[in-house]
Structure 1
Amino acid sequence: MRLKNKIQLYTSLSLFLMVLLFHTAIYFIFSFTLTQKDMSRLSEVAENIAIALKKSEEEGLPSSELLRAYLPQNGMIRVVTEKGQSKLTITKELTFSSLPFTYESGQTAEIKEYRKHMIAFAAIPVIWTNGEIVSLQVYEKIENTEENLALLKMILIAAGILFIVLSYFAGHILTKQIVRPISKMINTMKASMREKAFKRIELTGDSKDELYQMGQTFNEMSEILEKHYEKEQQFLHDASHELKTPITVIMSYSNLLKRWGQTRPEVIEESSQAIHDEAKKMKRLTDQLLTLAKNDQPPYLEMKQVDIADICKQVSHTLEVATNRTIRLHVQTKQPIFAEGDKEKIKQLLTILIDNAVKYSAEPVDVTCGLAGDTPFISVCDKGIGMREEDLPKIFDRFFRVDEARNRETGGTGLGLSIAKQIAEEHGAELKVDSRIGEGTNVTILFRK
């Protein structure tokens, strides 16, 4: 069943049940009120007759004539003995004579149904003229109450039907309003799949209700997906471009080996060296691509309090030996500097930053570790070529290179800073970059305590 039909059905059923319960309650409350009034009035008549009978006995008036004087219109008065026999019956309604009766020992009042008519009944015990205790019973057709209740029933039924019909059409309009943005979203999704594009829903009005927010969220999601798709396509393009160059070089030198390798030893040496160098580049590139792929997955980090000053000492010493370059370490305090993080991941992040500084600077590299207020930080500073200000927002993008010629010289792939950025984000850390052309670059990691 479609959502539109479900909403219509459930709304109509709910309203029908509510109207039914409400109107039923009104009918029974009104019926109870009217019948209570009739029974009270008839009980009062019975009490008045009992009082009058007592006086008539003292004055010696005939009881039958007195009872006729109190006979209700469309009613009957009956005197019933303790043996359940009718001692006296006075009525103008012949149909009342066949009414079943019993002796009532106490005062009572109720509503009875006889031949599909409502009859008010009241009984009170009295002492008859011969000293016998009898039940004085008064009956009356309550035609006004019946008519009023019948009229009320018709009004409630008609009002209920009218309300349900109107609510059906109102529900139909409301359902269309609810389903319209959902239908738009479905059609937009189908169009996106059909046309291989990321389409948006056109939002109108400024109601800011849940349906509007749903459409807004869908548009935001489409925008995010589109950006991810564009990044993925750019990544595939850049990765294929980066791999194409070393593969072309390897193919060229392998063809050269096939053609001249057996007769010219210098070709073997040159080709072997070129193939080896390009293979190393490919390995480094594929390793970094694998690292990025792993970083795109939900990270598993062994988070704990680590001494970042100790990490700086280890990484600086290792890279100083490996690169044969001077790396100067400055620790602002003799006390341990703790930050929350994964020790190995922080080492990898720091290695990338120092490695970049070594590649693009002939001067010694300065690594500073300390506290900025309460925030632990590590700063890597070089006096190298620097970067333009307009390039700084892009340096963490995959395969971005400030200068292609310089990257060919240093063997960079343009993936290191992208990996560094992901590691920092996993730790909730912030990377700040300050760079000027010809003056050098300073990259600062601000950790979470």
Structure 2
Amino acid sequence: MNTNKSLRSQWLKLSILIITITYLLFSSLLIYATSVYLKDQEYRSVSRALDDVSTLYANQAFNTITERDIYSSLIDNQQMALYTLSGEEVYRWPARSELYFELDFQQSDNPLINEKSIEGDDYLVASQMIQSDFWHGYVAVIHPLNEYNTIIRMMLFIATIIGFLSITFTSVISYFFSIQMVKPIGRFTNQLKKIENQGFAERLELKTNIVETDYMIESFNNMMDALEESYNQQKQFVEDASHELRTPLQIIQGHLQLINRWGRNNPEVLDESLGISIDELKRINRLVEELLLLTKNEGSEYVQPDLVNINDEIESRLSSLRKVHPDYMFTTDFTKANLMYPINNYHFEQMLIIFLDNAIKFDKENKHITVSTEVDNKGDVLIEISDSGIGIPKDEIDQVFNRFYRVDKSRSRQQGGNGLGLSIAKKVAELYRGQVWISSVEGQSTTVHIKFPKVQK
């Protein structure tokens, strides 16, 4: 069973519900306040009439009071009756009235007013005891509530009609408004289906002039850009990794087949094939290790840093390289400031080795490597590693940190490496809030710039 509901129907139901509840509350409060006010006026009217009639009989002899006097004291179709102290009715006005009602005679100086339903109609019955020289007994005034009830019923009828019209009008307006409101979302959904069928290349070309939906469209396009870039990088990564693994595996397979055919009985072929196969296995192992390291550095795992002396650590690495590469000249230009930075010692050493090894690989003629350090006016630590090698074409500088990327593919493969070193070194620097970039003049030199932010004390 499909329980999905459209935004239009949801909006329509919600708007009708809100206007209905609001109108019911408003009309109920209005009718209630009006009824209270009108009821108070009815009480005031019967109280005033009772007071006038009581005054009339308390101050005049019974036989001197005319119907005109009584008529002047009563209003709004009111009636009156005169009783003895024993409750016997003595007089009623108008005399032709056949309305029958009972009184609760109580000896009280204060008037009593009660609501009664007599013969299906509502009345206010007010009574008061009179003790004077002219009359001893009770006087009662009967006040009909027909006009009050008529007004309340009329208000209920009008409120119902207005409520029905208001809800109908609101429903129609909400319906057309909901159509306009969901129209951009419908267009948005249609384009999403199109993108779903055609892939990452499509983008939402839509302008709704509504802040929320325009922001949603912009965010979606940005997300699609990020997804496409991530997808392409992942695809390129898989292709490059497959290519890097395919070559050594083919070499190993070829030499194993060579051994299987005639290398078993030929020591020279056997030694050569085994040596080459072992070298290629080492190459595969190094590639896997670098991939794992690169993946680890991309994570958010926090590594406990050491407080490393930048100049001393660089000098230590250069001393080791001078022994391994005695034909290279390594010069330094260190700042006199004591450069201490919180970074894992192994990571810093790994980063230096990658950049220095890369400089050595691509400076086979001049063989001159320079390392300098300084502190800028913001307190940031700057490290520069420069070589005098073949340089990097200007249009390829931004790509050298991509995985498996090689400026000169043929020469890079001859010199070894998997094209992951610079990516690993950059990730290591970024792990400690550092920045890495390269400047180069093709055919002359290449400089790697490393910046670490000022340590907050």
User: TM-score scaled to structure 2, two decimals?
Assistant: 0.84
Once the two structures are superposed, residues 267-319 of structure 1 have per-residue CA deviations (whole angstroms, 9 ceiling, x without a partner) of 33443333233223222222222222323433333257554344434444444
Q: Give 1:24 deviation, angstroms.
A: 0.5
Identify which of 87, 95, 100 aligns with 1:97.
100
Contact 1:12 1:167 in 2 (8 A): yes
- Give, in angstroms, the shift of residue 23 of structure 1: 1.0
- Would the alpha carbon gap of residues 112 and 249 (structure 1) be closer, same or farther in structure 2, given more than 3 Å must change? same
Give the equivalent residue in structure 2 for 1:127.
131
Per-residue CA deviations over 1:374-396 (Å, capped at 9, x if unaligned) read 11222222222211221111111
Corresponding position of 1:224: 226
Question: How many residues are paired up?
Answer: 445
Distance across 2 between alignment mates of 1:227 and 1:244: 25
Q: Is the 8 A contact 2:80 2:142 kept in 1?
A: yes
Taking a change above 3 Å as real, the CA distance of residues 77 and 195 of structure 1, as seen in their structure-2 partners, is same
Q: Distance in 1 between matches of 2:31 and 2:95?
A: 32
> What are the Cα deviations for residues 155-174 of structure 1, in whole angstroms up to 9, with x where unaligned?
11111122222333333344
Residue 60 of structure 2 aligns to a residue whose secondary structure is helix
Q: In the alignment, which residue of structure 2 is the partner of 1:141? A: 144
Out of 204, 225, 229, the residue aligned to residue 207 of structure 2 is: 204
RMSD across aligned C-alpha pairs, in angstroms? 3.3
C-alpha distance in structure 1 between counterparts of 2:305 and 2:121, whole Å: 86
Task: Indicate whether 1:19 and 2:23 are aligned.
Answer: yes
Q: Tell me, yes or no, if the aligned pair for 2:35 and 2:152 is still in contact at 8 Å.
A: yes
Task: Report the CA distance shift for 1:53/1:81 in structure 2 as closer, same or farther (over 3 A).
Answer: closer
Distance 2:83 2:426 in 1: 105
Alignment partners' CA distance in 2, 1:440 and 1:84: 128
Q: Tell me how far 1:14 sits from its aligned partner.
A: 3.0
Compared CA separation, residues 83 and 13, structure 1 to 2 (3 A): farther
Tell me by how many angstroms 1:434 deviates: 1.4
Q: How many angstroms apart in 2 are the aligned matches of 1:427 and 1:222? A: 29
Contact 1:75/1:91 (CA < 8 Å) preserved in 2? no
Equivalent residue runs for 1:180-195 within 5 Å: 180=183, 192-193=195-196
Contact 1:178 1:211 in 2 (8 A): no
Q: Which one is further off, 352-361 or 181-190? A: 181-190
Q: Which moved more, 1:141-150 or 1:390-399?
A: 141-150
Q: 2:304 aligns with which of 278, 302, 305?
A: 302
Report the more deviating stretch, 427-436 or 311-320: 311-320
Q: Which amino acid aligns with 2:406?
A: R
Contact 2:49 2:74 in 1 (8 A): no
Shift of 1:39: 2.2
Shift of 1:407: 0.7
Distance 1:86 1:60, change over 3 A: closer
Q: 1:446 to 1:65 in 2, by over 3 A?
A: same
1:154-193 Cα offsets, whole Å, 9 max, x none, are 1111111222223333333444455555555555555555
SS in 1 for 2:433: coil
8 Å CA contact 1:104–1:123 kept in 2: the answer is: no
Residues 221 and 84 of structure 1, relative CA distance in 2, 3 Å threshold: farther
* Map of 2:248 onto structure 1: 246
Aligned match of 2:282: 280
Shift of 1:332: 0.9
Q: Using the TM superposition, give the Cα deviation of residue 436 of structure 1 relative to its aligned residue in structure 2, in angstroms.
A: 0.8
Identity across aligned pairs (percent)?
A: 25
- Superposition TM-score, scaled by structure 1 size: 0.85
What is the aligned partner in structure 1 of residue 65 from structure 2? Answer: 62
After alignment, is 381-390 or 164-173 more displaced? 164-173
How far 1:25 moved relative to its partner? 0.6
Q: Residues 164, 302 of structure 1: CA spacing in aligned structure 2 closer, same or farther, 3 A cutoff?
A: farther
Residue 448 of structure 1 deviates from its aligned partner by 2.5
1:214 aligned partner: 216
Q: Is the 8 A contact 1:121 1:139 kept in 2?
A: yes
The worse-fitting range, judged by mean Cα deviation, of 45-54 and 394-403 is: 45-54
CA–CA distance in structure 1, aligned partners of residues 122 and 313 of structure 2: 98
Aligned to 2:235: 233
CA contact (8 A) 1:80 1:102 kept: no
Q: Secondary structure at the match of 2:19?
A: helix
Q: Which amino acid is 1:19 matched to?
A: Y
Q: Distance in 2 between matches of 1:262 and 1:304?
A: 53
> Contact 1:246/1:279 (CA < 8 Å) preserved in 2?
yes
Q: What secondary structure is seen at the aligned counterpart in 1 of 2:440?
A: strand
Within 5 Å, give how 1:333-352 maps onto structure 2: 333-335=336-338, 337-352=339-354
Residue 162 of structure 1 corresponds to which residue in structure 2?
A: 165
Q: Measure, in 2, the Cα distance between the counterparts of 1:292 and 1:92.
A: 112
Paired letter, 1:207: I
Residue 328 of structure 1 contacts residue 365 of structure 1 at CA under 8 Å; is this kept in 2? yes
Do the aligned partners of 2:57 and 2:135 also contact (CA within 8 Å) in 1?
A: no
Shift of 1:321: 4.5
The farther-off stretch of 427-436 and 68-77 is 68-77
Q: 1:441 aligns with which of 436, 439, 446?
A: 446
Secondary structure at the counterpart of residue 96 of structure 1: coil
Equivalent AA in structure 2 for residue 56 of structure 1: Q
2:411 is matched with which residue: 397, 406, 409? 406
C-alpha displacement of 1:366: 2.2
Letter in 2 for 1:442: T
> In the alignment, which of 369, 377, 382 is matched to residue 365 of structure 1?
369
Unaligned runs of 5+ in 1: none
Q: Residue 153 of structure 1 aligns with which residue?
A: 156
Tell me if structure 1 keeps the 8 A contact 2:390–2:444.
yes
1:36 to 23, 35, 40: 40
Q: Does structure 2 retain, via aligned residues, the 8 Å contact 1:433–1:443?
A: yes
Q: Deviations over 1:11-66 (max 9, x none)?
A: 43333222211110111111122222232233223333333334425x98338774
Which of 50, 57, 68 is 2:54 aligned to? 50
Q: Which amino acid aligns with 1:21?
A: L
Please list, as runs of the form range in 1=range in 2, the aligned pairs for 1:325-340 lying within 5 A after superposition: 325-335=328-338, 337-340=339-342
Q: Is the 8 A contact 2:383 2:449 kept in 1?
A: yes
Q: 1:334 deviation in Å?
A: 4.5
Instruction: State the AA in 2 paired with 1:49.
Output: V
2-side partners of 1:315 and 1:434: how far apart? Answer: 23
Q: CA deviation at 1:241?
A: 1.5
Is the contact made by 2:60 and 2:134 (CA closer than 8 Å) also made in structure 1?
Answer: no
On the 8 A contact 2:82/2:137 being kept in 1, the answer is: no
